[in-house]
Homo-oligomer: A and B are copies of this chain.
Amino acid sequence: MLFTAQVKVMPLKDLLDPQGKAVLGGLQLLGFNQVHDVRIGKFIELHIEANNKEAAFQLASEAAKKFLANQVMEVFEVNIF
């Protein structure tokens, strides 16, 4: 069966996010003054061939740990559909 895994990778809460800070600056220049904070991460969609949802989850989590996310600086979250 074909599953879709969505892996969300975000910078750790306590780390500075320079890309987010830059976008926050841009938004404020455009007049979006109600925006107080911006954090930017990656959203990765994988199509996985697996026997069941559990196996797809395991595979996506392993891929995220080994390759998609840098756990020193980022946290990830996996959802299977």
Q: Is chain A's binding surface mostly helix, strand, loop or mixed? A: strand
State the Cβ distance, A50 to closest chain B Cβ, in Å.
Answer: 6
A40 touches B42 (CB 8 A): yes
B23→A48 contact, CB < 8 A: no
CB distance from A59 to the nearest CB of B (A): 6
Determine the interface band of chain A, counting residues with CB < 8 A from chain B.
20 to 34
> In this complex, what residue of B is CB-closest to A51?
B34
Q: Is A67 an interface residue, CB under 8 A from the partner? A: yes
Q: Which residues of B contact A67 (CB under 8 A)?
A: 23, 26-27, 30, 32
Of all chain B residues, which has the CB nearest A50?
A: B34
Given contacts A37-B47, A42-B42, 8 further A-B contacts (CB under 8 A): A20-B44, A27-B63, A30-B63, A30-B67, A35-B47, A38-B45, A42-B43, A43-B43
